[in-house]
Structure 1
Amino acid sequence: MTAPTDRHAQTAVPIHPLLAARHSTRAFAPGVDLTEQQVAALLEAARWAPSAGNTQPWRFLLARRDTGEFKRVLETLNPGNRDWAANASALLVAVRTDANARGPLSHAAYDLGQAIAHLTFQAAAEGLTVRQMGGFDAAALAAEFALEAPLVPTTVVAIGEPGDPAELADAVAGPDRAQRARLAVDDLLIHP
């Protein structure tokens, strides 16, 4: 099965073109490095995300391809993710901060998600693609980089230029070769 040529979301009503075009590919263009300006813009977009009480309970570990840090992050990924993530330009470890000097931060996971959403939108504006992964060993990653409480590795984000999904190995190409689908808005609404 070949990859669909149009990956735009088939929305019920028009949405911003960057949002409609965004999709989480596993295909990254090999050998492409992020520019300093791209990295700065991605992190700046995340920095300005909203957070409860402006606590900004997120920290990031950026590992660029062909560095020791990249290899260390890559080794903590589940084997299936390692197969395709090795082509990404960078792996960003998104770390939430579950507490600060005032105490526990109950919305830290939500706020970190907003920061990554902002980063994802900026990546789309930069012509980049982002794929988030839950398939990694958080304890191993924390140990590898000496991340101690209240820092919690929450997701690993592969970033780079989109590649050709036709070049993905069959074992990892599933989502890139399937039609995009989402639940209908009515299915998402809770009707009292």
Structure 2
Amino acid sequence: MELNPIIADRWSPRAFDAEATLRPADLTLLLEAARWAPSHGNTQPARFVVGQRGDDTFRRIFDVLRPGNQLWAGRASVLLLGARATADERGPVPNSEYGLGLAVQNLALQAVDLGLVTHQMGGFDHEAAARAFALPEDVVPVVVVAIGKLGDVGILPEELQAREKRPRERKPLSETVFTSTWGTPWTPGADA
């Protein structure tokens, strides 16, 4: 049994092709993938502000990024500000951050299918982003997603080149999945 390639091939590079643009149909498909994510009680709390390289929205999203992310994110074709709606007509929306996370994951996997790459960032000024886009009080910015075509790693500063070339690693299931009591690793095929 093997991991689905769309999951195995997803990663978060920083080297974007500064010449590549996203076709409107591809950007729409990415946002549709996000829209179809599951959410608590079908509340659909994910909200996005879309900036395409060269437009004012892209610049304003870029401007709220931390300097380390600004080193590379300006080469992306799209910068997407992801926010979560914390209330709707029924009242508070439970698990809204989880709902946004699922939407962004759908978008990231759809990007892999389209031959695109994404990089998700928490490194931005959340309050400045809320002000820059006049977000209502019940809409909370959470993530910026850079989207585009993979570029040449050589365009990055040396430190980031090294990070790009590192092998992708994940903690083993024995450290993240438990049974019986916390800390007791779950083992495939083991009796509970």
Which position in structure 1 is the counterpart of 2:4?
A: 16
Bigger mean CA offset, 14-23 vs 112-121: 14-23
Deviation at 1:166, TM superposition (A): 2.7
Q: 1:61 aligns with which of 49, 55, 71?
A: 49
Instruction: Go from structure 1 to structure 2 and tell me whether the alpha carbon gap of 1:134 and 1:174 turns closer, same or farther (over 3 Å shift).
Output: farther
Residue 137 of structure 1 pairs with residue 102 of structure 2: no
Residue 146 of structure 1 pairs with residue 139 of structure 2: no
Alignment of 1:23-62 (within 5 A): 23-62=11-50
Which position in structure 2 is the counterpart of 1:165?
A: 153
Output the CA distance in 2 between the equivalents of 1:180 and 1:43.
Answer: 27
Q: Look up the equivalent residue of 2:8 and give its one-letter code.
A: A
Output the CA distance in 1 between the equivalents of 2:154 and 2:176.
Answer: 33
Aligned residues: 180
Tell me, yes or no, if the aligned pair for 1:80 and 1:172 is still in contact at 8 Å. Answer: no
Bigger mean CA offset, 51-60 vs 165-174: 165-174
Output the CA distance in 1 between the equivalents of 2:10 and 2:43.
Answer: 28
Aligned-partner SS, 1:153: strand
Output the CA distance in 2 between the equivalents of 1:68 and 1:172.
Answer: 27
Output the CA distance in 1 between the equivalents of 2:52 and 2:162.
Answer: 26
Aligned-partner SS, 1:94: strand
Which position in structure 1 is the counterpart of 2:87?
A: 99
TM-score after normalising by structure 1: 0.90
Output the CA distance in 2 between the equivalents of 1:44 and 1:110.
Answer: 18
Output the CA distance in 1 between the equivalents of 2:172 and 2:84.
Answer: 31
Q: 1:175 aligns with which of 160, 163, 167?
A: 163
Q: Look up the equivalent residue of 1:179 and give its one-letter code.
A: P
Tell me, yes or no, if the aligned pair for 1:78 and 1:137 is still in contact at 8 Å. Answer: yes
Output the CA distance in 2 between the equivalents of 1:76 and 1:18.
Answer: 31
Tell me, yes or no, if the aligned pair for 1:84 and 1:172 is still in contact at 8 Å. Answer: no
Deviation at 1:140, TM superposition (A): 0.3
Q: Of the two structures, which has the highest relative contact order with CA contacts closer than 8 Å and spacing of 6 or more?
A: 1
| Aligned-pair Cα RMSD in Å | 1.1
- The unaligned stretches of length 5 or more in structure 2 are 182-192
Output the CA distance in 1 between the equivalents of 2:99 and 2:46.
Answer: 8
Deviations 1:80-126 (A, max 9, x none): 10110000000000010011122211210001000000000100000
Deviation at 1:45, TM superposition (A): 0.5
Aligned-partner SS, 1:91: strand
TM-score after normalising by structure 2: 0.90
Which position in structure 2 is the counterpart of 1:127?
A: 115
Tell me, yes or no, if the aligned pair for 1:26 and 1:85 is still in contact at 8 Å. Answer: yes
